[in-house]
């Protein structure tokens, strides 16, 4: 049977952008416009460079580069040529990079010019034959060499099961695992999100996310490109810049930190948001206070959704209908979801259990880790997400926490998010994080880290006294630490592994 090139994700995106908006595209902070036609031509020239370097479909192309339109061209070139794109967080050190190089065995590594020397040395040790550079302005040996070549307009005829990207999980324990995401995974998720979020002609997206992660690279770019939308393509989040852009935009995707920072800006008003259609939040839990304060200031209810590296987006609050704070909505169309105990048995509605999912968005498995892949899937094909959730009668899901973050203190289960919610609801509290650390009597003890609002005068004991009115004693943190900020990764997720390490020994010699 003859296969269609449109099963290649790039062919799907190209059909929309060049048909409907070849003259629109990415608009940078300095006023440049890189049109969709430019993206197509640039990615075709990079695809020609792949051929010059003797890369073959299925070869890995690793990128640790700053955000730029040319970095998007590199990603699109990988899709159209059948390569496997491996984006890496720009914060990873050379030591960390060595692991990713040896694990994924890329044929080409694209890095920032200022890291080229050490990456070339690491690439030589792991057998990667080619290293090219790309900086934040789009300059470097990658684009310089590609610019001299004619475009290769061929598009690899991909099967839906062909891997388009490997994204390494930002796990807090053990080695990161490479999640293999196929053209079928990425296409199905993009089409679903484009539909359920009601993209319309003329939508303009504010894009201030990094592009080494599912949120910025896949969710934001794919849906906007399917819509042939203008993309206001910012190098990073800057509240002043966002406020200036809001009147000319209609959609924004961000992490909760974006919205918390916007709330501190005097320019966030209903008038500034007068043309906005949709604010979307994900990658970390959105606090109720942020949700409610944002609505009060702007008239907009933020749409919270939930996803993960291994499956893209999984659930979403509705575009039309009630968006409830501290919930992530319903499973996406085509996604089957159930809540189970540790053995895979379904729990009653409203009870806490581990979310398990099945659908076209769920990844093919972990790169070169078949045993790990098998342990993460049930025999009936459901993927075990590791996230603790509650599902109500209507099917709406609330995230309780990660199964690995569950604290078992004195034989009792403590769900950190429940405790954090109670702390965050207190006057004067900006945010909190709760973790478990070793305790000689209880196995684990609950401790908390608290960020106060400016000028708040709150003591550790006053917080504990307030919690006693709503929480069982075993859930109340035995110790609270006041900090200026919580450690976060690039996507705004609190790094609880870092918090667990800070005070891991404080109860070592304690008996209570």
Q: Can you give the pLDDT at residue 164?
A: 98
Burial class of residue 454 in the structure, from the number of CB atoms within 10 Å of its CB (0-12 exposed, 13-18 middle, 19+ buried): exposed
123-130 long-range contacts (CB < 8 A, ≥24 apart) are: 125/98, 125/101, 126/98, 126/101, 126/102, 128/62, 128/101, 129/53, 130/53
Q: Which residue ranges make up each domain of the chain?
A: 34-182, 237-403, 406-502
**Which has the closest alpha carbon to 310: 383, 389, 209?**
383
Q: Can you give the pLDDT at residue 257?
A: 85
Q: State how far the alpha carbon of 424 is from the alpha carbons of 59, 297, 298, 416, 484, in Å.
A: 47, 20, 22, 12, 15
- Percent of the chain whose pLDDT exceeds 70: 96
Q: State how far the alpha carbon of 8 is from the alpha carbons of 25, 76, 121, 161, 187, in Å.
A: 20, 11, 34, 10, 8
Name the 3-class secondary structure at 46. Answer: helix
Q: Which residues of the chain have pLDDT under 70?
A: 1-5, 170-174, 508-512
- Do the domains 34-182 and 237-403 sit in the same CATH topology, yes or no? yes
| Contact in structure between 397 and 327 (CB atoms under 8 Å) | yes
Can you tell me which residue has the tokens 């792949």?
50
Can you tell me which residue has the tokens 């939308």?
229
- Quick: pLDDT tens for 246-294: 999 999 999 888 998 999 999 999 999 999 999 999 987 888 888 999 9
Burial 370-390 (b: 16+ CB within 10 A, else e): eeebeebeeeeebbbbbbbbb
Q: Write out the CATH class of domain 406-502.
A: alpha beta
Residue 267 token pair:
């320019």
Q: Can you give the pLDDT at residue 405?
A: 84
Q: Can you give the pLDDT at residue 129?
A: 97
Range 34-182 has CATH code 3.40.50.980: yes
Q: Can you give the pLDDT at residue 512?
A: 42
Q: Can you give the pLDDT at residue 112?
A: 97
CATH value of 237-403 in 3.30.56.10, 1.10.10.10, 1.10.10.60, 3.40.50.12780: 3.40.50.12780
Q: Strand 353-358 relative to strand 383-391: parallel, antiparallel, unpaired?
A: antiparallel
């Amino acid at each position: 049977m003859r296969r269609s090139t449109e099963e290649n994700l790039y062919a799907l995106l190209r059909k929309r952008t060049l048909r409907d908006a070849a003259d629109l595209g990415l608009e940078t902070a300095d006023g440049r416009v890189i049109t969709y036609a430019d993206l197509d031509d640039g990615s075709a020239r990079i695809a020609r460079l792949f051929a010059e370097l003797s890369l073959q479909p299925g070869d890995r192309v690793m990128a640790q580069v700053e955000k730029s339109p040319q970095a998007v061209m590199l990603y699109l070139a990988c899709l159209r040529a059948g390569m496997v794109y491996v984006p890496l967080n720009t914060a990873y050190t050379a030591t960390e990079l060595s692991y990713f190089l040896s694990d994924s065995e890329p044929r080409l590594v694209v890095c920032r010019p200022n890291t080229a020397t050490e990456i070339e040395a690491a690439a030589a040790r792991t057998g990667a034959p080619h290293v090219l550079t790309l900086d934040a302005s789009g300059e470097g040996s990658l684009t310089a060499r590609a610019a001299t070549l004619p475009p290769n307009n061929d598009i690899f005829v991909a099967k839906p099961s062909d891997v388009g990207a490997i994204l390494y999980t930002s796990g807090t324990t053990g080695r990161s695992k490479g999640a293999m995401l196929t053209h079928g995974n990425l296409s199905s998720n993009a089409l679903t999100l484009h539909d359920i979020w009601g993209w319309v002609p003329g939508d303009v997206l504010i894009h201030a996310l990094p592009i080494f992660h599912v949120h910025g690279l896949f969710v934001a770019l794919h849906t906007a490109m399917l819509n042939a939308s203008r993309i206001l393509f910012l190098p990073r989040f800057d509240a002043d810049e966002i406020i200036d852009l809001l009147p000319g935009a209609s959609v924004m995707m961000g992490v909760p930190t974006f919205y918390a920072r916007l709330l501190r800006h005097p320019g966030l008003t209903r008038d500034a948001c007068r043309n906005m259609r949709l604010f979307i939040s994900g990658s970390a839990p959105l606090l109720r206070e942020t949700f409610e304060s944002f609505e009060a200031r702007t008239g907009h209810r933020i749409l919270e959704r939930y996803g993960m590296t291994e499956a893209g987006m999984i659930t979403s609050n509705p575009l039309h209908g009630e968006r409830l704070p501290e919930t992530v909505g319903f499973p996406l169309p085509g996604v089957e979801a159930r809540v189970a105990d540790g053995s895979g048995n379904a729990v009653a509605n409203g009870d806490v259990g581990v979310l398990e999912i099945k659908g076209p968005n769920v990844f093919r498995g972990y790169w070169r880790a078949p045993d790990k892949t098998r342990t993460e899937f049930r025999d009936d094909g459901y993927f075990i997400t590791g996230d603790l959730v509650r599902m109500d009668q209507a099917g709406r899901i609330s995230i309780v926490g990660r199964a690995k973050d569950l604290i078992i203190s004195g034989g009792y289960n403590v769900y950190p998010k429940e405790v954090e919610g109670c702390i965050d609801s207190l006057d004067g509290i900006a945010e909190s994080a709760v973790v478990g650390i070793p305790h000689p009597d209880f196995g684990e003890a609950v401790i908390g880290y608290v960020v106060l609002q400016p000028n708040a005068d709150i003591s550790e004991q006053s917080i504990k006294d307030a919690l006693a009115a709503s929480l069982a004693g075993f859930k109340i943190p035995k110790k609270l630490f006041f900090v200026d900020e919580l450690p976060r990764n690039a996507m705004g997720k609190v790094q609880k592994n870092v918090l667990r390490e800070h005070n891991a020994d404080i109860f070592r010699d304690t008996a209570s």
